């Protein structure tokens, strides 16, 4: 009976020791991992900071202005380019642009036989 108890006790001791060691190793591993991640985060942050600074450096107004002057045809805004909504003319009456064009070309009356061109003077000539 006592022997069995001893065996159980020793078994419990060994297993608890193993458990404790495994926990310890896991913790160490996790700490290392955490440290690595922290380092990574820091590096990323630093990189972001550098990129931000670089972004601003590349977007600094004098550089943008220089590039715009060299490559764009844009002009500075002037007031005369602004139109009030009330100044915009209303839409004109709807016209059949194609039909009018045909009419102008004399094709609007296809059934009519062509007459003497001289008789229908479209452009008044010089009067004597």
Binding site for another protein (CB under 8 A): 45-46, 49-50, 52-54, 56-57, 60-62, 65, 76-80, 82, 84
Separation CA 107–CA 100 (nearest Å): 10
Identity of the residue, 77 or 92, whose beta carbon is nearer to another protein in the bound complex: 77
Check the CA dihedral 25-31-37-39 and report its sign: negative
Identity of the residue, 76 or 110, whose beta carbon is nearer to another protein in the bound complex: 76
Separation CA 3–CA 127 (nearest Å): 144
Closest CB 64 distance from another protein, rounded Å: 9
Buried b (16+ CB within 10 A) or exposed e, 74-84: eeeeeeeeeee
Closest CB 76 distance from another protein, rounded Å: 6
Closest CB 9 distance from another protein, rounded Å: 25
Identity of the residue, 9 or 41, whose beta carbon is nearer to another protein in the bound complex: 41
């Amino acid at each position: 009976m006592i022997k069995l108890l001893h065996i159980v006790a020793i078994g419990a001791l060994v297993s608890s020791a193993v458990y404790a060691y495994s926990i310890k190793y896991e913790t160490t591993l996790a700490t290392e991992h955490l440290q690595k991640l922290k380092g990574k985060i820091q590096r990323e942050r630093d990189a972001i900071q550098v990129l931000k600074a670089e972004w601003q450096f590349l977007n600094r107004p004098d550089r943008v202005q220089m590039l715009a002057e060299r490559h764009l045809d844009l002009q500075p805004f002037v007031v005369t380019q602004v139109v009030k909504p009330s100044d915009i003319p209303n839409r004109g009456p709807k016209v059949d642009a194609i039909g009018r064009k045909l009419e102008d070309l004399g094709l609007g009356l296809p059934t009519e036989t062509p007459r003497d061109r001289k008789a229908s003077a479209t452009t008044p000539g010089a009067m004597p």
